[in-house]
Each structure stands twice: as C-alpha cells, then as structure tokens.
Structure 1
Amino acid sequence: MTDDRDEGLEQRRAQLGAELANKRAAVREGERGEVRAEESRKGYAQAMKLSSEFIAAIIVGAVLGYVLDRFLGTTPWGMIILLLLGFCAGVLNVLRSAGKVVTPEPQGREPGKK
C-alpha cells in the first residue's frame, strides 16, 4: 500500500513539475512581449518628439515672419525668409535629436571634459 502511495505521489510531483515548467515558459514569453512593446513605445515617443520639434520650428518662423511683415510692411518677404529659416532650424533640431549632427561645444571648454 505504501508503494502505491509513493508511486501516486511521484506521479503527482512529476505532473506538478511539468505544469510549473509550462507556467514559467508562459511567463518568460509574456516578459519578452512586454520588452518588445516597451521598445515600440519608445520609438513612437521619439517620433512624436522629432515631429513636434520640426513643426514647432516652422510655426515659430511663420509667426515671426508675419509679425515682422505687419510692423515693417515688407509683405510677404519677412514671412518667406523666416519660414525658410524656421524650416532649416527644424531640420537641424531633428538631426541633433537623432544624433546625426553633434551639438556645438561652448567656447572656452575643452572637448571631452564636463
């Protein structure tokens, strides 16, 4: 009778071990999915940041050009020039944020020191 009981306990332990291994595998797969989702969210956040910087620079250039034209009466040249400068500034900001262009060091500082 104790042999039957020991066999039953061994079978039950083996069954529980298999179920535990399946649960652990499912948890690991879920963690991998979370990591992928986190990377995707970071990408979307970076895209939103870059696009907002670009659009903001263009809008600021257009508004300043409009204000300059209204006060100086140079319609439409102030808006055209400052809109183009805003576009250039937006492109430069995007390139700096993306790491394609290095931000200039202030004068009087040695490179590599903070």
Structure 2
Amino acid sequence: MSDPTPRDDGTGRTPSSSDESDLSARLKSLETRLDQASAHRQETEDPRPRPASDSRALGQAMRLSAEFIAGVMAGGVLGYLVDGLAGTKPWGLIVCLILGFCAGMLNLMRAAGLAKPARYDEKP
C-alpha cells in the first residue's frame, strides 16, 4: 500500500527505502510487544463472572431511600399541622422540615449500619 511517488516529509528531504524499512521494523516490533502485553494481561486478569443483577442491593437501596423520605415527609406534615394550629405560617414548616431531614439522615445511617441503633431500655 505504499505510494510510488516520493513525498517531502517537511525536512526538505525525501524518505529513502532505508527509512521505510526502519519504520516497518519498528512497527513489527511494536506489534509483537503489544501482542505479548495483551497475552500477559489476559493471563493476569481474574475472570470472575458478575451476577446479572443483585436483588438484595436493590432492596437495600429502596429501604434506605424510604427511611430518608419518611423522615422528611413526617417533618413536613408535622410542620404543616403546627402552622395551621399555631398560626406561624412558614416557620413551623421550615423548622419541622429541618428536623425531619435530620431524623431521616439519622434513620438512614442507622439502617446502613453507620450509626448505633436506638437503645430500648426494657426493664421488667
């Protein structure tokens, strides 16, 4: 696939056959090194089959999201009720939403195992 017409390579000289042979030798050397590296890589890789889907992970994600959303929703509803009863229009909702967010984060961390579970003192 070589072009029979000589071309100028930008240095003011035309490439000779020795330059082309040097390039082809370097190309062959590079190809052999790439083949060796890819063969070595395939040998060292651990071909572990990955499961198609993990239903436990999906269930845990749904549980964690429900824990967080429940805290925020409970805070919002409680704040709306406080505003309606006390007449403190935006402030009860704002404060209870912030408290609901904090409670949701705490429940989320407890469900994920990052925080200690709530203590229930059972005294007979």
**CA drift at 1:105:** 2.8
Residue of structure 1 in register with 2:41 after alignment: none
Alignment of 1:73-112 (within 5 A): 73-107=87-121
Residue of structure 2 in register with 1:24 after alignment: none
Residue of structure 1 in register with 2:61 after alignment: 47
Give the fraction of aligned pairs with identical amino acids, expressed as a percent: 45
Scaled by the length of structure 1, what TM-score is found? 0.59
Query: Do residues 59 (structure 1) and 73 (structure 2) align?
Result: yes
Q: Which runs of 5+ in 2 are unaligned?
A: 1-48
RMSD: 1.8
Query: Do residues 68 (structure 1) and 82 (structure 2) align?
Result: yes
Structure with the largest fraction of helix: 1
The 1-side partners of 2:122 and 2:84 are apart by 40
Higher relative contact order (CA 8 A, sep 6+): 1
Given residue 80 of structure 2, which amino acid in structure 1 is its aligned partner?
A: Y
- The DSSP-based 3-state class of the residue aligned with 1:85 is helix
The 1-side partners of 2:100 and 2:91 are apart by 14
Given residue 56 of structure 2, which amino acid in structure 1 is its aligned partner?
A: K
Q: Which runs of 5+ in 1 are unaligned?
A: 1-31, 110-114
**CA drift at 1:104:** 3.5
- The DSSP-based 3-state class of the residue aligned with 1:54 is helix
Equivalenced residues, count: 75
Given residue 79 of structure 2, which amino acid in structure 1 is its aligned partner?
A: G
1:19-43 deviations in whole A, cap 9, x for unaligned?
xxxxxxxxxxxxx77xx356x1100
**CA drift at 1:103:** 1.1
